[in-house]
A and B are shown apart, each in its own frame.
Chain A
Amino acid sequence: MRRQNYRTRAVILSVLLLVILMAIYLSGIFITEDMILGSFLEAKLPPDFQHFFGTDALGRDLFLRTLKGLSVSITIGLAASFISGIIAVLVGIGVACGSKKTEEAITWVIDLFMGIPHIVLIMLISFALGRGFWGVLIGISFTHWCGLARVIRAEVLQLKSEPYVAISKKLGKSGSWIMVHHMLPHLTGQILVGLILMFPHAVLHEASLSFLGFGLSPEQPAIGIILAESMRYLSTGMWWMAVLPGLLLVILVLLIDKLGHLLRIIWDPYSSQG
């Protein structure tokens, strides 16, 4: 059947995307500091075959720096989505299964987190942790869980009204048994897709924060840092410093987003058609 084909295609495409993402990630890991280290003789070169993205003011290869930076972005994005996901699951289930009072309290907390612009809150958290890697990571983790928590809450509430859950309850199954056997199987897909769709946001926020100077320190390779540096050389005509690394970042984000949508199709072909 064609339908099977469509899903198979989604599976193949998503595996392909995963391979590309892994390649970016691994290449970033294998690029060592001294590979990036350039010489002043090669400073400010526009893109050519030797340096795909050109070189920066210190003569470092921008392509290698960008890859390295993206791999750091992926690390932070993955970790932050994961932590956010755990918070979201706990909160979402807590709201759905707890008493009315817990629900109100948690809704209030969500409103609190939504009440401060995310960037400002991440800045504050990053400031509290003395900036750097952990600052951004925790900052992003603690600001991205609200949306997914709401989705999970709605889903759990809906599952609770399903007849098979009510029957299980009548049969004397415990709440945790129902949770494991009836709810988690349904939620896993939602959570997974939610996590992957959160991932690009986390990456974008990391880049923005590093750009503003709250994220990774200038010595570390980070896409935000590269782009912040590029601002200084914009007026001298070094366009490649701003355009190319940013373009690669956008492509990365689009790839991850596409992956999320593909996984949603694989999981639940009827919910999404594109």
Chain B
Amino acid sequence: MWIDENKMKCKQQKLLEIHNLSLSFQRYGTWLRQESLEVISNLDFTVDKGEVVAVVGASGSGKSLLAAAILGILPPNAIVQGEIYYQGTRLTARLQEQLRGRDFALVPQSTTYLDPLMRVGQQADGHRKPRPTERRKKIFEKLSLPEKTGKLYPFQLSGGMTRRVLVATAMLTEAQLIIADEPTPGMGVEQALEALQMFRQMANEGKSVILITHDIDLAVLFADKVAVIYGGNTVEIASSRDFERGEEGLRHPYTKALWRALPQNGFEPVWGTQPYAGSCMKGCIFAPRCSMRTWECEEKMPPIRELREGEVRCYHAT
């Protein structure tokens, strides 16, 4: 029995923990007064080993900047508060620099992320020596990229090939954490499934994947866990199974609204617009759009709390 338990523990080992992450931009300018714009506030979630975590939210919820914050590639005018731990160690700019391309890998979304004047093979091999050319060829083959792909320039690739090349760059590294930024837009359903399957595969091999997307429908199919972001805040962390169970499985009113907005669940639009994070609200950020709100919600931001093996940032969730 104890072996099994150990295994469980190992599986549950935390790879990445994000605590209270806030991100704001300081805008300097000769004619602009200095102002700061908060795009992420109070973001919390953890990623375990071998897990696919989908980070879901409407566009403008600050989820793409999350990837930049973890990788440490934010523009210089960004201010990060809160902590990110990687394998128990707190991330610093220096550490991030070392981890980039070794433990962390980003899978970007489009062909603009490839140098237009460099052959794809050379690009996938990367700058480190010795060049992993042989391994890269094998990976290309595994991803059913034709052999000549390595000799092509990015503009000669089809959309599907570009995506696989970008995935290959992540597979080539020993990365433990793969961050996929919106990997599905502009794809047909089949292509999207194929892309997500590749990430699931990587997770099954023991790596962890953060899947940043606004496509809950597909994300739920492949992810273990879903973090729902609203206005730069985590409002709920639920397992994919909760989504399968439908509305009762979910906790936060926003998540429920998102679920109802899915075509197969009634296609009910989410009323209202999403505020910016830090738009000077002292209460719950979803309160203005929430049907369950009370005076309490408007007075004080609810803390994130555990509920039914998930987490939620709501006073009234049950």
Contacts and interface: CB of A to CB of B under 8 A. Distances in A.
Interface in A1-60: 1-3, 5-7
B33 interface: yes
B30 A273 contact: yes
A20 B244 CA distance: 76
A130 interface: no
A269 interface: yes
Interface string B9-37: 00000000000000000000011110000
Contacts of A2: 30-33
Nearest to A269: B31
Nearest to A1: B33
A267 to B, nearest CB: 15
Interface residues of A, number: 8
A28 B32 CA distance: 41
Interface string B281-306: 00000000000000000000000000
Nearest to A274: B30
A269 B30 CA distance: 11
> Which of B30, B31, B32, B33 is packed against the most chain A CB atoms within 10 Å?
B31
A115 to B, nearest CB: 30
B31 to A, nearest CB: 3
B134 to A, nearest CB: 49
B83 to A, nearest CB: 35
B32 to A, nearest CB: 6
B33 to A, nearest CB: 5
Nearest to A7: B31
A7 B30 CA distance: 11
Contacts of A269: 31
Contacts of A5: 31
A5 B31 CA distance: 7
Nearest to A273: B30
A7 B32 CA distance: 11
Contacts of A3: 31-32
Contacts of A273: 30
A273 B30 CA distance: 9
B30 to A, nearest CB: 6
B196 to A, nearest CB: 37
Contacts of B33: 1-2
Interface string B246-276: 0000000000000000000000000000000
> Which of A1, A2, A5 is packed against the most chain B CB atoms within 10 Å?
A2
Nearest to B31: A6
B26 to A, nearest CB: 15
A61 B33 CA distance: 51
A1 B33 CA distance: 7
Contacts of B32: 2-3
A272 to B, nearest CB: 12
Contacts of B30: 2, 6, 273
A1 B32 CA distance: 8
Interface string A118-151: 0000000000000000000000000000000000
Contacts of B31: 2-3, 5-7, 269
A5 B30 CA distance: 10
Interface string B219-251: 000000000000000000000000000000000
A6 B33 CA distance: 11
Nearest to A4: B31
Interface string A233-274: 000000000000000000000000000000000000100010
Nearest to A6: B31
B287 to A, nearest CB: 32
A7 B29 CA distance: 13
A2 B30 CA distance: 8
A1 B35 CA distance: 12
A7 B31 CA distance: 8
Contacts of A1: 33
Contacts of A6: 30-31
B206 to A, nearest CB: 49
A223 B32 CA distance: 43
A179 to B, nearest CB: 33
A5 B33 CA distance: 11
A151 to B, nearest CB: 25
Contacts of A7: 31
Nearest to A9: B31
A209 B303 CA distance: 77
Interface string B74-85: 000000000000
Interface in A144-199: none
Interface in B32-74: 32-33
Interface of B: 30-33
13 contacts: A1-B33, A2-B30, A2-B31, A2-B32, A2-B33, A3-B31, A3-B32, A5-B31, A6-B30, A6-B31, A7-B31, A269-B31, A273-B30
Interface of A: 1-3, 5-7, 269, 273
Given A2-B30, A2-B32, A2-B33, 10 more contacts: A1-B33, A2-B31, A3-B31, A3-B32, A5-B31, A6-B30, A6-B31, A7-B31, A269-B31, A273-B30
Closest 10 CB pairs of A and B: A6-B31, A3-B31, A2-B33, A2-B31, A6-B30, A3-B32, A2-B32, A1-B33, A5-B31, A269-B31
